[in-house]
Amino acid sequence: MAEQLGKDRRTHYCGELRREDAGKKVCVMGWVKKRRNLGNLLFIDLRDRSGYVQLAFDDSTDAALFEKANGCRNEFVLSATGTVRVRSSINPDIPTGEVEIFVEQLKILGESETPPFEIVDDCKTAEDIRLKYRYLDLRRSNLQRNIMLRHRVAKVTRDYFDENGFIEIETPYLIRSTPEGARDYLVPSRVHPGSFYALPQSPQLYKQLSMVAGFDRYFQIARCFRDEDLRADRQPEFTQIDLEMSFVDMEDIFKIAEGYVSRLFREVLNVEIPMPIPRYTYREVMERFGSDKPDIRFGMEIHDLSEAVRGCGFSVFTNALEEGGSVRCIVLKGAAEQMTRKEIDKLVEYAKGCGAKGVAWVRRAEQTSSSFLKFLTEEEIAKLYEAAECEEGDILLAMAEADTSRLLYLLGQLRLEAANRLGIKREGFSFLWVVEFPFFEYDRESGEWLAMHHPFTAVMDDCLPYLESDKGRVRAKCYDLVLNGIELSSGSIRITDPVLQAKIFELLGLSDEEAHAKFGYLLDAFRYGAPPHGGMAIGLDRLVMQMVGAETLRDVVAFPKVQNASELMTGCPAEVPEQALRDLGLHPDQIIEKNS
């Protein structure tokens, strides 16, 4: 039977007590982590969000109190009052390991059935079971540390942007559906039958309107929603640190963002991030790493072999070059001893699974083996090794494609997989900016040029002459912030010139009518004095995930969704009563009647 709290007042959290607290009368409250009965001695580890402390009972303890303590089971909720004393057997592995509480009063505030899994950090229970009982899973100390660190990140964020003149403005959750590249979550309106709100994919248009309104510097820890397939670093609802600034260029935004990163890591993790954050152009990261969000904590950069193998006897290479493509490679330094032929074959199969036609390889060792060297002369082999910087003991993996962009992407995928299979250590926090993205990207299926970013992204000044004549040369005033191979943020300087904006819409195939139907309220606002502005949004979930070294967002989000966008704990999404559908005009009978 649970007891009332009465006049008991908690004086300390369990994980706070130290040797200097010896002799103090304290009251702690929490959950039973473990009970140990040693005959005339009994110990209970009591846990709360701060950690745990040992409660002690011995032969001098009142018999009824000893019996009550002996009846406590794991996850019972207790209030314990007693005196702190130095432990006879010190546990150096926990912060409270030098002390214990000799209990004089014990109350059982809540009893517990046997949990469906053991609540320990290295729990081996299947994740779907733990997510079904997420409120129990969240009692594990590693998850509690992650959630509390996330809270600290949010606090430092608000402090930093407030101190730098930003105003926190809440934007609506129920908005007009706007195309942003992913499907909207739609909310039917009862008051306006047949009409729908959308949940925001981002506050993009509202924050730009805040600049037109004159707030100058906006930020928000914004909740966003996208109806898209889930990955380890993606949830259907997510949080981003959103900001927009007026009267700025890219340098101003970089300065604010770098100041934020520096302060956040210093205050939360006591880690100094080298400043300024290095910058790479989009073209450079694709050429060197095969990714627009590269992990640069290890080398294995891409080498261009095109000139070295031009005119050689290997038709796979020469055919790609004749079609206007290229031949590129990565080199696995010192891997010849580590990787067998069978393991190389697995890498080749992985690349084919990504869409590669094949991989030509060399295992350069005392007994060199290769899939293609027999087609090359000694001179051509020497040129190949020189261009690839391939030495004795290395493995060379090469690809040839008519489409160089596709080739670079495939090598980027292979680079990461090879690093994983070789167990290459990737430690620390490596930030970089990626700048000068292409404004347009060519869609081979439709034969059209599409916007790589949202259509309000400004064009680099020197690219304006090429908007109509050479779209492939047009670069955008946009930038991504990347951490350890994860895109944390995307941002841009915005278009505020109505004439240029109309031209961009035209180039993207949007008529004036379509543009005004989708974005009319923003375009109208720009007629009344829009300041030059730009901004960005940093993914809070992904940022915290990197800071704590988690492998999935589910380790840093309190109540996450799973792969099919459902929540196992509450069983949502779920059906609703028929009357609720009728109120919204969505009952099947109403829809059939309307259509007929």
- Report pLDDT digits (tens) over 216-275: 999 999 999 999 877 767 899 999 999 999 999 999 999 999 999 999 999 999 999 999
Which comes out higher in pLDDT, residue 181 or 488?
Answer: 488
Instruction: Say if residue 85's pLDDT is above 60.
Output: yes
With a CB cutoff of 8 Å and minimum separation 6, the contacts of 373 are 362, 381
Q: Which fold has domain 298-425?
A: Gyrase A; domain 2 (3.30.1360)
DSSP of 158-174: HHHHHHTT-EE-PPPSS
Of the listed ranges 241-255, 318-332, 527-541, 563-577, the least confidently predicted one is 563-577
DSSP of 343-378: HHHHHHHHHHHHT-S--EEEE-STT-EESSGGGS-H
pLDDT at 181: 64
Distances (CA, A) of 311 to 316, 321, 322: 11, 9, 10
Are 376 and 410 in contact by the 8 Å Cβ rule? The answer is no
- Strands 99-110 and 51-57 come out as parallel
Q: Could you give the CA distance from residue 530 to residue 497 in angstroms, rounded to a whole number?
A: 8
The CATH number fitting domain 14-110, selected from 2.60.40.10, 3.40.50.1820, 2.40.50.140, 3.40.50.300: 2.40.50.140
Of the listed ranges 227-236, 294-303, 390-399, the least confidently predicted one is 227-236
Domain residue ranges of the chain, discontinuous segments joined by +? 14-110, 143-280+432-565, 298-425
Average pLDDT over residues 69-89: 96
DSSP of 184-220: PPEEE-SSSTT-EEE--S-SHHHHHHHHHTT--EEEE
Instruction: Select from 511, 60, 485, 537 the least CA-distant residue to 292.
Output: 485
Here the tokens at position 501 are: 């904006």
Report residue 544: phi and psi, to 5°: -65, -40
Distance of CA 264 to the CA centre of its chain: 16
Q: Could you give the CA distance from residue 528 to residue 165 in angstroms, rounded to a whole number?
A: 24
Are 329 and 396 in contact by the 8 Å Cβ rule? The answer is yes
Hunting for tokens 């696995």 — which residue is that? 332
Instruction: Say if residue 124's pLDDT is above 80.
Output: yes
Instruction: Select from 284, 234, 316 the least CA-distant residue to 553.
Output: 234
Instruction: Say if residue 1's pLDDT is above 70.
Output: no
Average pLDDT over residues 37-57: 96
E runs forming strands in 454-502: 478-483, 486-493
Average pLDDT over residues 19-24: 96
Please count the other Cβ atoms lying within 10 Å of the Cβ belonging to residue 296.
19
Q: Could you give the CA distance from residue 169 to residue 181 in angstroms, rounded to a whole number?
A: 25
With a CB cutoff of 8 Å and minimum separation 6, the contacts of 26 are 11, 12, 17, 81, 82, 83, 84, 101
The helix/strand/coil state of 546 is helix
Instruction: Select from 233, 175, 181, 171 the least CA-distant residue to 208.
Output: 171
Are 208 and 494 in contact by the 8 Å Cβ rule? The answer is yes
pLDDT at 520: 85
Distances (CA, A) of 314 to 311, 355, 361, 367, 490: 8, 21, 13, 21, 42
Per residue, the 3-state secondary structure of 288-342, as one string, reads HHCCCCCCCCCCCCCEECHHHHCCCCCHHHHHHHHCCCEEEEEEECCCCCCCCHH
Average pLDDT over residues 351-377: 93
Q: Could you give the CA distance from residue 18 to residue 480 in angstroms, rounded to a whole number?
A: 45
Instruction: Say if residue 589's pLDDT is above 60.
Output: yes
Instruction: Select from 204, 194, 173, 401 the least CA-distant residue to 306.
Output: 401
Instruction: Say if residue 180's pLDDT is above 80.
Output: no
pLDDT at 441: 84
Give the model confidence (pLDDT) of 413-458 as tens digits: 999 999 999 999 999 999 999 999 999 887 777 777 777 878 889 9
pLDDT at 595: 64
Which comes out higher in pLDDT, residue 39 or 99?
Answer: 99
Which comes out higher in pLDDT, residue 508 or 94?
Answer: 94
Average pLDDT over residues 306-332: 95
Average pLDDT over residues 190-202: 92
Which CATH superfamily does the domain covering 143-280+432-565 fall into?
Bira Bifunctional Protein; Domain 2 (3.30.930.10)
Q: Could you give the CA distance from residue 414 to residue 329 in angstroms, rounded to a whole number?
A: 10
Strand order of the β-sheet with 431-435 is 167-168, 217-225, 237-246, 533-539, 486-493, 478-483, 431-435, 279-281
Average pLDDT over residues 560-583: 90
With a CB cutoff of 8 Å and minimum separation 6, the contacts of 264 are 153, 156, 157, 160
Distances (CA, A) of 552 to 137, 181, 464: 15, 23, 41
Instruction: Select from 589, 538, 573, 591 the least CA-distant residue to 187.
Output: 573
How large a percentage of the chain has pLDDT more than 90?
Answer: 80
Here the tokens at position 233 are: 């670093």
Q: Could you give the CA distance from residue 320 to residue 406 in angstroms, rounded to a whole number?
A: 12
Angle between helices 341-354 and 404-422 (to 10 degrees): 140
With a CB cutoff of 8 Å and minimum separation 6, the contacts of 590 are 582
pLDDT at 581: 87
Average pLDDT over residues 398-405: 94
Whole-number mean pLDDT of the chain?
Answer: 93
For residue 232, how many C-alpha atoms fall within 13 Å in the half-sphere facing its CB?
6
Are 420 and 439 in contact by the 8 Å Cβ rule? The answer is no
Give the model confidence (pLDDT) of 495-538 as tens digits: 999 888 888 888 888 888 888 888 888 889 998 999 999 999 99
